[in-house]
Amino acid sequence: MDANLTPLSHLPDWIPHAVRLYLDHTGEGVSLREIARREGKAASTILRQVRRYEMRRDDPLVDEVLAALTEGQGGALTPDPEDAAAMNAQIRPSALSLDEATIAREARRVLRRLAEPGAMMALAVDMENAVVLRQGADGHVVQTAVLGRQVAQAFALKEWISCRKAGRIATYEMTAAGRAALKRLIDADDRARMRAGMAEAQAGFVGAGQADCPVGAVADPDEDGARRRIRYGAIESPVQVLARRRDQAGTAFLSPDLVAAAERLREDYELAQMGRAGRPWDPQAATAPGADSGLSPGQRAARDRVTLALRDLGPGLSDVALRVCCQLEGLEVAERRMGWAARSGKVVLRIALQRLRRHYEESYGKAGPLIG
């Protein structure tokens, strides 16, 4: 067999097969008929796949990854001069450095946010982070997640997101393939827990309308041997579910500005990658010597914002804010772990969010802290 027909073995395993075919043809000059014979498919089928990714180069994220591939950042490909001149993407560190586990972990976090009604992802040309936005109940835009540009590139290449509007600030929306991928990831986690004998995880699957035990709750060991629930798979956070509750007069239990304050705290918590080691994050140790080792300037700034906010709330209020807003514990679980009376958690949480809103307004103004 001709050496040119050998698949691009240097590419990460998660790269879609259609991308490999596209690079075989455009990067290494293998004819469509040769690729078709190798794949055992009709040449017209290969042509459609190649053309599909050629058309997708209008997407800035896809163009960046393909440009990195053909420029040799992901391997040894060297494009023809005409092809190189046609590539308008800025060459920068790309998704090729990511592995499948990292992409899956970020997908569980970010795709869940993109699945929310009215959500979209926005990315500026000169920014290394993308943000997930959605319109709140009061009409204001709320930022719900932050992700690295490399992760966004991987999502685009996998066709989990599609470019809705290109330009200096490109916007993206979740695709049907992205929703299917999120469902597969959640289902895979469920099967893994069952194989591991975690029968107690089944207790987390209850009606979607119950705020304290949402769909997809996971039982994870805490440092004291007890177990706590983290809602990795729920489409809505505990705060969002609680915000839908109304009194007899029809007034929402949590106003939109309180929900926005909770979202700000969680954004920074996720941006700083707090709690990733499986242990609850200790705000008192956040500024200890060596605590910021390995963090980027943006992550350090986000960590400092969380630390200041929780210290301003003080004991009790900071505990419930950290557990419910950041670690996504249900109110019932938080009440039990902190020794509170039943149904008292929602009242304490509202007080904590009122104090948190005041902290953000006094510290950063109405617009809130900047991300990144």
pLDDT confidence of residue 350: 92
CATH number where 105 lies: 1.10.10
pLDDT confidence of residue 284: 56
CB neighbours of 370 closer than 8 A, spacing ≥ 6?
364
In a domain, 120, yes or no: yes
In a domain, 312, yes or no: yes
Question: Of 61, 92, 123, which residue is a domain's last?
Answer: 92
Taken in order 216, 217, 219, 221, is the CA torsion positive or negative? Answer: positive
One domain for residues 120 and 73? no
Q: Which of 364, 278, 265 is nearest to 320 (CA)?
A: 265
Terminal Cα distance for the chain, rounded: 50
> Domain count of the chain?
3
Helix axes 345-364, 297-313, angle to 10 degrees: 120
In a domain, 17, yes or no: yes
Structural domain boundaries, residue 139: 98-177
The structure tokens listed for 240 are 């969002």
What's the rounded mean pLDDT across residues 268-272? 81
One domain for residues 333 and 275? yes
In a domain, 198, yes or no: no
Q: In the predicted model, what is the mean pLDDT of the chain?
A: 75
In a domain, 75, yes or no: yes
The structure tokens listed for 154 are 């991987």
For 51, 72, 139, 269, 363, the CA distances from 14, given in Å and listed in that order, are 20, 18, 38, 28, 43
pTM of the model: 0.56
How far is Cα 41 from Cα 85, in angstroms, rounded to an integer? 31
One domain for residues 356 and 216? yes
Q: Residues of the chain with pLDDT > 70: what percent?
A: 70
One domain for residues 121 and 78? no
In a domain, 190, yes or no: no
pLDDT band at 55 (very low <50, low <70, confident <90, very high): confident
In a domain, 244, yes or no: yes
pLDDT band at 309 (very low <50, low <70, confident <90, very high): very high
Q: pLDDT by residue (tens digit) across 3-54?
A: 443 345 567 788 888 888 888 887 777 888 888 888 888 888 888 888 887 8
* Residue 87, φ and ψ in degrees, nearest 5: -85, 115
Q: pLDDT by residue (tens digit) across 91-113?
A: 455 677 888 889 998 998 899 88
Supply the DSSP string of 33-83, one letter for each residue: HHHHHHHTS-HHHHHHHHHHHHHGGGSHHHHHHHHHHHTTSSSS----HHH
pLDDT band at 193 (very low <50, low <70, confident <90, very high): low
Q: pLDDT by residue (tens digit) across 196-205?
A: 654 444 444 4
In a domain, 195, yes or no: no
One domain for residues 268 and 158? no
One domain for residues 59 and 126? no
What's the rounded mean pLDDT across residues 179-193? 83
How far is Cα 301 from Cα 318, in angstroms, rounded to an integer? 19
Question: Of 92, 107, 131, which residue is a domain's last?
Answer: 92
Q: Which of 8-17, 75-84, 210-219 has the largest mean confidence?
A: 8-17
One domain for residues 212 and 327? yes
Question: Of 92, 125, 140, which residue is a domain's last?
Answer: 92
Q: Which residue has the higher pLDDT, 170 or 368?
A: 170
